Amino acid sequence: MDRWPKDVGIRAIHVVIPSLYVDQTDLERYDRVSEGKYTVGLGQKQMGFCTDLEDVNSLCLTAVSQLVENNGLSYSDIGRLEVGTETIVDKSKSAKTVLMKLFEATGNFQVEGIDTTNACYGGTAALFNALAWTESSAWDGRLAVVVAADIAVYAEGGARPTGGAGAVAMLIGPDAALVVDRGLRGTYMNHAYDFYKPDMCSEYPVVDGKLSVECYLNALDRCYESYLSKCRDGGDDVRGGLDRFDSFVFHAPYCKLVRKSLARLCANDFVHRRGDESGWPAPELRERLRLRPAALLDRDVEKTFVERSAAVFADKTEPSLALASRVGNTYTASVYGGLASYLMSVPPERLAGKKIGVFSYGSGLASSMYSVRVVDNNGLSVLIGNLKKGFDRLGQRTRLTPEQFADVLDVRQKCLHRAPYVPTGDRDRLFPGTWYLSRIDEMRRRYYERKE
């Protein structure tokens, strides 16, 4: 047994969304900004949020327990569990250790993995680690679970409507319905202060919006070229560029950036003469971009590619934005919410054989591009059936006013460091089966309960 098992990848996915949301048109009015600034300018419809009843630990507890229950697993089937998050509530104790409460009844304490952090990239790092574990000599034949969970909140101002909250839990193992392509991975890491959280006493990040978009799009270019060069090394013909993907999903800080990102990949194909050239801009533009790649950020150039890629976007990427547009940015969970959204958008009988490109970005910065093949096995229909349970919650949420939303964020920020503390949020509004923070004691220990 010194070989990798077959078809290692994602065997199940579960998404957790907050039970509360605010409408972005309501927010536009409340913030007295021009109509469409959030809904068209950012491409956001609604934003999910949590009261002080939920923190990163409770989100992870909800995601993992529902993943296990929906898939009829025992906690003793799990040999590895890793959490990706940037919503840190303790500088030392990992969310993973809080999750071990769930394993207690089965007596399974042999569960590798802890937490991993770099902005929105933690879920991807956790996934990569789980895949490698399954292929390594440390694998004990059991399944791995990866959880990506975050609460994205911003100080009052321009970035606030780009918040969100949520979690995605994934079951990793061999014979998966979503097989991660081996050896096809482009990674780009660099040192940048585009978005970071240096104020340990606040939930809010420091954001350099313009720099962050530049860093994101540059990382996208680098990962795409690196991904394609790995394909070439493996003997693939990459002259089709994006044609090789049935879908492409992106980390989604807000949907408009994803729109630009898909256009950016098309621009890369154009510059490198990949894919169908009919209907694309004149060769003069190609020469201009070759001489000055930074011109891709010029407004007219970007607009050209956004317009010309409209059909590709509608086909390959727009379906992946269902959660992102209605829940907002879920940081580490965002790109996996995108993957889940795409899977839900295709009739199950037509999913097998689909090839999905994935781009994960975390400010600071860490980014990777890889691909997933949907494989037709019994697990596929179960995966889709279970995934639907999380999506059904979208229509069952409570819409609050911008005033109520602002109040909730005020409470969160003010009580962030209070101890002892009993959360004041309304438990009645939580979905059944949700874990919540019941209290923080005078030693700042956190206690959790589950809503029936």
Question: Which of the following is catalytic: 60, 251, 255, 318?
Answer: 251
Rounded Cα gap, residues 112 and 59, in angstroms: 20
DSSP state letters, 290-321: HH-GGGGGSHHHHHHHHHHTHHHHHHHTGGGG
The span of 241-249, 338-346, 364-372, 378-386 binding its own copies (CB under 8 A) equals 364-372
Active site residue 349: no
Q: How far is the CB of 78 from its own copies (least distance, A)?
A: 11
- CA 257 – CA 263 distance, rounded (Å): 10
Cα dihedral 340, 341, 343, 344, rounded to 10, equals 120
List 54, 86, 246, 269, residue binding its own copies (CB under 8 A): 86
Of the two residues 46 and 94, which places its CB atom closer to its own copies in the complex?
94
CB 233: neighbour CB atoms within 10 A? 10
- 378 near its own copies, rule: CB under 8 A: no
CA angle 62, 120, 412 (to 5 degrees): 60
Which one of 86, 112, 203, 318 is the catalytic residue?
86
Dihedrals φ, ψ of 215, to 5°?
A: -65, -45
Residue numbers 159-198 binding its own copies by CB under 8 A: 182-183, 185-193, 195-198
Kindly indicate which of the ranges 69-77, 250-258, 279-287, 437-445 contains the residues binding its own copies, using the contact rule CB under 8 A.
Answer: 437-445
Residue with tokens 């956004």: 306
Number of chain positions touching its own copies (CB under 8 A): 77
Nearest-angstrom CA–CA distance, 116 and 390? 24
Asked if 120 is an active-site residue, the reply is yes
- Contact call for residue 336 and its own copies (CB under 8 A): no
Contact between 278 and 294 (Cβ < 8 Å): no
Residue 46 binds its own copies, judged by CB under 8 A: no
Question: Exactly one of 21, 49, 75, 133 binds its own copies (CB under 8 A); which one?
Answer: 133
Does residue 118 contact residue 197 with C-beta atoms inside 8 Å?
no
CA–CA separation, 74 and 146 (whole Å): 16
Which residue in the list 50, 60, 120, 231 is annotated as catalytic?
120
Among 29, 69, 106, 206, binds its own copies (CB under 8 A): 206
**368 contacts its own copies (rule: CB under 8 A):** yes
* Of the residues 21, 49, 75, 128, which one makes contact with its own copies according to CB under 8 A: 128
Longest dimension (CA), the chain: 68
Contact segment (CB under 8 A) with its own copies among 19-27, 46-54, 128-136, 403-411 equals 128-136
305 or 359: whose CB is closer to its own copies? Answer: 359
Q: How far is the CB of 424 from its own copies (least distance, A)?
A: 19
Q: In terms of C-beta density within 10 A (0-12 exposed, 13-18 middle, 19 or more buried), how is residue 382 classed?
A: middle
Nearest to 231 by CA among 217, 212, 216, 245: 245
Q: Is 14 a catalytic residue?
A: no
Residue pointed to by tokens 């930074």: 294
User: CA-CA distance, 47 to 71, in Å (whole number)?
Assistant: 28
Closest contact distance (angstroms) between CB of 446 and its own copies is 8
Site for its own copies in 95-114 (CB under 8 A): 96-101, 104, 109-114
Nearer to its own copies, 322 or 369 (CB): 369
Per CB under 8 A, contacts with its own copies among 210-239 are: 222, 226
Evaluate whether 47 touches 83 at the Cβ level (below 8 Å). no
Task: From 200-208, 305-313, 346-354, 388-396, give the range in contact with its own copies by CB under 8 A.
Answer: 200-208
Residues recognised as catalytic:
86, 120, 251
